[in-house]
Amino acid sequence: MKTCLRNSGMGICMFILFLYAGNAYSQVIPGPVKYTDPKLPITERVNDLVSRLSLQEKVMQMQNNAPAISRLGIPAYNWWSECLHGVARNGIATVFPQAIGMAATWDPELIFSEADVISTEARAKYNECVSQGKRGIYQGLTFWSPNINIFRDPRWGRGQETYGEDPFLTGRMGIAFVKGLQGNDARYFKVIATAKHFAVHSGPEPDRHSFDAWCSERDLYETYLPAFEALVRYGKVYSVMGAYNRFWSEPCTASDLLLDKILRKKWGFTGYVTSDCGAIWDIYNGHKLQPDSVRASVLGVKAGCDLTCGDEYGSLVHAVSKGYISLSEIDISVKRLFTARFRLGLFDPDSLVPYAGIKPSENNTAGHDLLSLKIAEESMVLLKNDNHTLPFGKKIKQLAVIGPYADRLSVLLGNYCGKPSNPVTILNGIREVAGNNIDVLYAKGVDGLEDAAAKPLEKQAMNAPEPTAAEMESFALQIASKADAIVFVGGISPYLEGEEMDVNIPGFSGGDRTSLDLPANQTLLLKKLAFIGKPLVLILTNGSALSVKREADQIQAILEAWYPGQQGGKAVAEVLFGKYNPAGRLPITFYKSADELPPFTDYSMKGRTYRYFSGEPWYPFGFGLSYSKFAYLEAGVDKGIYSSADTVKLKVKVKNEGPFDGDEVIQVYYRKKDSGFERPLKSLCGFQRKNIRKGLTESLVLPIAVSDLRIFDPGIQDYYIEPGKYELLIGPDSSTPALITTIDLK
């Protein structure tokens, strides 16, 4: 180098050094640098940038923790961020109800508003982090939400992350969430959403790294795929995450069928695919399908998995040298990933990117807190209300609030959550709404099942003896006997159900559940409270179906609260005291017992969900009570015969005959009795949440797309709309229709 400098000067020597690096850089690109010019098309800019990368640099960019490339001015970027129901794992953020509670609103427009707020907070946080030089995990703009797997079995611990058991409802809620996240700018994404986990994936959690899921083609195309297709075709989701398990013996994260033939070729997906964390490692370590990381990485990239959450793709340098994969195949994935970053505006001046000006002050605002409250209110499902026990009237002067989750923060949040700045527990919500006119008495009564493991640490921290179970129960019964009514806050918590958890206690296994029953200690205390003879109200916190069938006869009212977010306590209290008229609806079936279900590992839909379950559930899909009473007066359609491209305009009249203003969720299901195919018992095809004032009648028009009445025909390997007569079943839930009308498809 010194000799070169003496003879030729710095410019020539640096050029020679550039060439001498050989393998370090792919090639010297003559002419102007294009990737920095925002006036050029993104495709041209991406092609220019990728052409300047070495193989080593390319494969490092295909890992979630992508390092900076200083010589080209490319900053580091971590692709892993979470926003299932609010920006997660990145400090203070608004925490909305868990996804299963979002689904219980049956209100896609409201969920769109939530997602728009989440993406605003995400940009606010990102802009602040970048200004401080922070580019770490959970600080980016590519979010691994929503989870749109079908909640086929209530034993799955991650079902709380989903929008329930129905493909149609899941698709509508998912589309709204994705559109709210990604924004409506023609050039730039606000953030990028990720539909996960593609595709046939819903437990068991302990087996997911080696499990091979099997189902029929009918179940695949009629249950497991429709929501993903809806998000790709109509939500324009720009990222998809593969699942850990295999499907039909192919790893989902490296499935040619799922990622290439269906996702890209059939549905026209143009974004990028990411693995779940360690899923490429699972290909050789869990599924034992390849001998090592090199071959597993090759399998993933060739199938269409562009990004690994992990470091496995570093082995692709060796794979290229061995001829297992070509540079051009690597480039396809790298270009997809950089296209996403360009579409987020990460290489353009802030003045051009409409979301770059979002300030840190736009995170965790009072308005966002109010929206969290509204969604929590709409998510509340009143399951039982004998003798109009609720709402509480003026005669209530003393109220006993009892239960392991009455004053517990965790049951507000669920999993994959942010940190709320001022959460309201159910106990504190009741105290706030009750005001000074009602004396609120509190006793824990019993421990949560998760408390046993925490007790030694709690006891050590408090440096005080813990009350015994008998002492806790005695105090609870004492205050209950004094009160005019009793509220018991029970159920389960996110410390018991969730993703691959180290939980193995009766009723739970590895994050999943083995029983749908209430914990036995809660059941025992409920019986003793009922014996006192005061009005008894049960508040359930949970992310999956519970069965309280055996105890229900002794309980006057039951309110399903889910994991209701930072304002969940206030929302519960507003329902109890009549400040809010509940109208949430179950997005899942509540069975009487897990014994009614097929084995958890059986992915056939036979005997599962309201569409295929022929038994009598505890509470059916779509169920929910109100403080008011709604009458379905008449229904009709706009014409007699429809084609496959038509949309039926279903006209429905509904009257609020009760004493309260309130929302009604009008639901429409379809069935075809004389079909030549094996079909579900019924399937949701339309719904609308509508506020109707007391005494008034509303005339509604619900659009029913004929294309949503399709069925998969294995003979032609495609969807088919069978001609003939169909019944549209209209009512407040999936069990018994209030009205039936018929349409004819030619």
Tokens of 123: 């940009």
From 337, 421, 292, 316, select the one nearest 140 (Cα to Cα).
337
From 20-29, 263-272, 605-614, the region with the lowest mean pLDDT: 20-29
The answer to whether residue 157 sits within a structural domain is yes
Does the annotation mark 551 as catalytic? no
Tokens of 504: 């193995």
Q: What is the mean pLDDT of residues 563-582?
A: 98
The answer to whether residue 462 sits within a structural domain is yes
First vs last Cα of the chain: how many Å apart?
81
Same domain, residue pair 319 and 390 = no
Q: Is the pLDDT of residue 14 over 50?
A: no
Sign of the torsion angle spanned by Cα atoms 440, 446, 449, 451? positive
By residue count, the chain amounts to 746
Domain closes at, from 334, 362, 390: 362
Reported confidence tier of residue 552, pLDDT bands at 50, 70, 90: confident
Reported confidence tier of residue 61, pLDDT bands at 50, 70, 90: very high
Same domain, residue pair 603 and 646 = no
Q: Is residue 228 a contact partner of residue 193, using CB atoms and an 8 Å limit?
A: no
CATH of the domain at 660: 2.60.40.10
Query: CA separation (Å) from 638 to 647, 671, 721?
Result: 10, 19, 20
Cβ burial 316-347 (10 Å sphere, 16+ → b, else e): bbebbeeebbeeeebbebbbbbbbbbbbbbbb
d(CA 153, CA 157): 10
Q: Which residues pair with 196 in a beta bridge?
A: 147
Q: What is the mean pLDDT of residues 192-199?
A: 98
Q: What is the mean pLDDT of residues 120-135?
A: 98
Sign of the torsion angle spanned by Cα atoms 617, 618, 622, 626? positive
Q: Is the pLDDT of residue 280 over 80?
A: yes
Residue 464: the pLDDT is 61
Domain closes at, from 316, 339, 362: 362
| Residue 468 buriedness (CB in 10 A; 0-12 / 13-18 / 19+) | exposed
* pLDDT tens figures, 421-451: 999 999 999 999 999 989 999 999 999 999 8
**High-pLDDT (> 90) share of the chain, %:** 92
Residue 9: the pLDDT is 39
Q: What is the mean pLDDT of residues 366-386?
A: 98
**High-pLDDT (> 70) share of the chain, %:** 94
SS3 label, residue 82: strand
Residue 385: the pLDDT is 98
Residue 6: the pLDDT is 37
Q: Is the pLDDT of residue 213 over 80?
A: yes
Q: Which of 276, 473, 517, 663 is catalytic?
A: 276
Q: Is the pLDDT of residue 367 over 70?
A: yes
CATH of the domain at 77: 3.20.20.300
Residue 463: the pLDDT is 60
Residue 1: the pLDDT is 37
Same domain, residue pair 478 and 347 = no
The answer to whether residue 1 sits within a structural domain is no
Q: Is residue 709 a contact partner of residue 685, using CB atoms and an 8 Å limit?
A: yes
Residue 26: the pLDDT is 47
Whole-angstrom Cα Rg for the chain:
28
Residue partners of 716: CB distance under 8 A and separation at least 6: none
Q: What is the mean pLDDT of residues 132-138?
A: 97
Number of domains making up the chain: 3
Q: Is the pLDDT of residue 49 over 60?
A: yes
Same domain, residue pair 124 and 254 = yes
C-alpha torsion 224→229→234→236, nearest 10: 110
**Cβ atoms < 10 Å from Cβ of 523:** 15
Same domain, residue pair 248 and 316 = yes
Q: Is the pLDDT of residue 409 over 70?
A: yes
C-alpha torsion 432→433→436→437, nearest 10: -160
How many CA within 13 A on the CB side of residue 199?
29
Sign of the torsion angle spanned by Cα atoms 541, 542, 545, 547? negative
Same domain, residue pair 400 and 296 = no
**pTM (predicted TM-score):** 0.95
The answer to whether residue 229 sits within a structural domain is yes
Mean pLDDT over the full length of the chain:
94
Reported confidence tier of residue 465, pLDDT bands at 50, 70, 90: confident
Same domain, residue pair 93 and 216 = yes
Q: Is residue 539 a contact partner of residue 559, using CB atoms and an 8 Å limit?
A: yes
For the chain, give percent helix, strand, coil, nearest 5. Answer: 35, 20, 45
| Type of residue found at 354 | P
The answer to whether residue 390 sits within a structural domain is yes
Question: Across 505-587, where does the E strand assignment appear?
Answer: 508-509, 512-513, 536-541, 557-560
Q: Which helix (H) or strand (E) holds 470?
A: helix 469-482
Give the neighbor-by-neighbor strand order of the sheet with 662-671: 641-642, 739-745, 724-731, 662-671, 683-692
d(CA 199, CA 167): 12
Q: What is the mean pLDDT of residues 576-595?
A: 98
The answer to whether residue 622 sits within a structural domain is no
SS3 label, residue 704: strand
The answer to whether residue 4 sits within a structural domain is no
Same domain, residue pair 598 and 653 = no
Q: Is residue 719 a contact partner of residue 222, using CB atoms and an 8 Å limit?
A: no
Domain around 449: 371-612
- The residue behind tokens 């979301």 is 355
Same domain, residue pair 552 and 521 = yes
Q: What is the mean pLDDT of residues 640-661?
A: 97
Domain closes at, from 578, 612, 646: 612
Same domain, residue pair 635 and 600 = no
Q: Is the pLDDT of residue 564 over 90?
A: yes
- The residue behind tokens 């099942």 is 449
From 28-37, 166-175, 457-466, 653-662, the region with the lowest mean pLDDT: 457-466
Residue 21: the pLDDT is 35
Q: Is residue 161 a contact partner of residue 99, using CB atoms and an 8 Å limit?
A: yes
Q: Which helix (H) or strand (E) holds 697?
A: strand 697-705
CATH of the domain at 515: 3.40.50.1700
Q: Which residues pair with 727 in a beta bridge?
A: 671, 742
Q: Is residue 291 a contact partner of residue 297, using CB atoms and an 8 Å limit?
A: no
Does the annotation mark 276 as catalytic? yes
* pLDDT tens figures, 495-551: 999 999 999 899 999 999 999 999 999 999 999 999 999 999 999 999 999 999 878
d(CA 227, CA 597): 23
Q: Which of 48, 497, 560, 698 is catalytic?
A: 497
The answer to whether residue 336 sits within a structural domain is yes
Same domain, residue pair 587 and 728 = no
Same domain, residue pair 352 and 407 = no
**C-alpha 312, offset from chain centre:** 27
* pLDDT tens figures, 679-725: 999 999 999 999 999 999 999 999 999 999 999 999 999 999 999 99
| Residue 616 buriedness (CB in 10 A; 0-12 / 13-18 / 19+) | exposed
Question: Across 92-203, where does the E strand assignment appear?
Answer: 194-198
